[in-house]
Every structure is written in C-alpha cells, then in structure tokens.
Structure 1
Amino acid sequence: MIKCDWCFSPQAEQGKNTVYWELPDGSRAIEIINSPCVICRKCGMTYQEENIIEQIEEQLLLINTSLLEKSITFSELMKQPRLLKRNYFKFD
C-alpha cells in the first residue's frame, strides 16, 4: 500500500508519466517518458518519489547530456553510459 505524500490518502498507486527535466548545465530541458510516479486517486496529485528524482538527477550528472535527444524514456535514460561510475560529490 502506498500513501500519498500530499494528502496522506492510502488511495495512491504506482504509475508512469511524462516529466520535463532541466539538464544540470541549464542549457535545455528534456522530456522523460514513462517515468515511475505515484498517482493519488483521492487528491489527483501525480509526482515522482524522492528516490526516482535522485536517480534521474544523478544519471544526468554522470552522462554526456549533449548526446540526448529532446525526448527519451526513463529506461533509455538509465541505460546511457556513464562518464564516471558514481557521483563522487555525494557524501551520504
């Protein structure tokens, strides 16, 4: 059971949606299709959980974003080869 982070209703479920993300260098935004999300049937909120946000931001930081098209699926984004194995600036 998932509880909505906004209204705390137990009527939330896993889903997928399209999000738009600014690249770390601020040069442009990309469309990420089929991104995992939470959809609340009570309040109507659709949002990415913190772990998904961290995955997207870390991946965009560690890949060559100049090779990305304007639109990409979440799974294709996560498969992009990394320039570094991990984020060496993340200390937790």
Structure 2
Amino acid sequence: MDTCTWCEVTGVVLGSGSVFWELPDGTKAIEILNTPTYTCENCGAVYQSDETVKQIEDQLFLISTVDLSKTVDYQDLMKMKRLLKRNYFDFS
C-alpha cells in the first residue's frame, strides 16, 4: 500500500499505533495498542488496512469479550482463544 486511501498521493508509511474499537455487543470500547497502522505523509491520515479491520472485527466477534480489559495489545488480542473457528456470519 503505497498510495493513501484518502488523498491518493504516494507516501504512506506503515507503522503501529493505538486504535479504539467498540465491542460487537456494544457494551464498551477498548483501546488496541500496537495495531498495524498506515500514516500518510501528505494529508496526515492515520488508518488501518481493510484486512486489519476485518481481522480485528472477526476476532472480537469470535472471542469471549466478558473479561477483556479496556486496553489490549494487538498481538495479544489476535492470540486469544476463539469460541468458533471462523466467523460463520460473514457472507462477504
């Protein structure tokens, strides 16, 4: 991904950062640290790839979020035990 999704100018840098996510059941929002993040040097937009967004949403849907703390590291979140093998409700 070399071109910014927002301004369509070349100059996107891959890094990591914190993102805030609402749980699928709407009970709370969490902060996910060290999430793969793109930053545009031209317009300053900071965003995640569609693939990263889907991975986070699927994982939050597939794990027990009852005991999930308000802050979690991205890698730790992705390693949490799933209740289902995959998101059977995703028809995309």
The reply to whether TM is greater than 0.5 is yes
The answer for the alignment partner of 1:68 in structure 2 is 68
Deviation at 1:2, TM superposition (A): 1.1
Q: CA deviation digits over 1:25-49, x for unaligned, max 9?
A: 0000000000001100111110011
* Gaps in structure 2 of 5+ consecutive residues: none
Per-residue Cα deviation, 1:36-65 (whole angstroms, up to 9, x for no partner): 011001111100111111000000000000
Corresponding residue of 1:14: 14
Structure 1 position 20, deviation (Å): 0.6
Identity of aligned residues (%): 49
Match of 1:59 in 2: 59
Q: Structure 1 length as normaliser, TM-score?
A: 0.95
The alignment partner of 2:35 has SS state of strand
Show the 5 A alignment for 1:18-57.
18-57=18-57
- Measure the CA separation in 2 of the matches of 1:16 and 1:82: 24
Tell me the matched-pair count: 92
Q: Does residue 79 of structure 1 match 2:56?
A: no
1:91 deviation in Å?
A: 2.3
Regions of 4+ moved over 6 Å:
none
The whole-number CA distance in structure 2 between the counterparts of 1:51 and 1:87 is 14
Letter in 2 for 1:40: C
